């Protein structure tokens, strides 16, 4: 368990209105051209009731910056893959 206090923050789920979303670290999947890339321990806000998830926007922005800088401007926008197990 991490000492990061943001992991203990919860907010109401906008998808189901009954659950609470909290921060988890899961594996993020992205297709880049025809290659599957996985990023372990990626932060995502996941509902305890319906399972809806939103990847952390700062982490997605950081990942896009890194991936785009490696490709010299080609279109490499990651696409979210299938849901991963929570961890």
One pLDDT digit (tens) per residue for the chain, 87 residues? 444 444 478 999 999 999 999 999 999 998 888 889 899 999 999 999 999 999 999 999 998 888 877 655 555 455 555 555 554
| Residue 46 placed within a domain | yes
Residues of the domain holding 13? 5-70
| Residue 84 placed within a domain | no
d(C-alpha 58, C-alpha 52), whole Å: 18
Count of domains observed in the chain: 1
**pLDDT computed for residue 72 by the predictor:** 54
**pLDDT computed for residue 84 by the predictor:** 52
| Residue 66 placed within a domain | yes
d(C-alpha 27, C-alpha 29), whole Å: 7
Q: What angle do CA 40, 44, 46 make, to 5 degrees?
A: 125
Whether pTM exceeds 0.85: no
* Structure tokens, 12: 């109401």
């Amino acid at each position: 368990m991490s000492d990061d206090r943001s992991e203990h923050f919860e907010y109401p789920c906008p998808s189901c209105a009954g659950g609470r979303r909290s921060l988890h670290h899961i594996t993020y999947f992205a297709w880049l051209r025809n290659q599957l890339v996985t990023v372990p321990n990626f932060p995502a806000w996941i509902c305890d009731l319906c399972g809806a998830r939103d990847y952390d926007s700062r982490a997605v922005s950081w990942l896009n910056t890194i991936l785009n800088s490696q490709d010299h401007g080609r279109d490499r926008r990651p696409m979210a893959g299938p849901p991963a197990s929570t961890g």
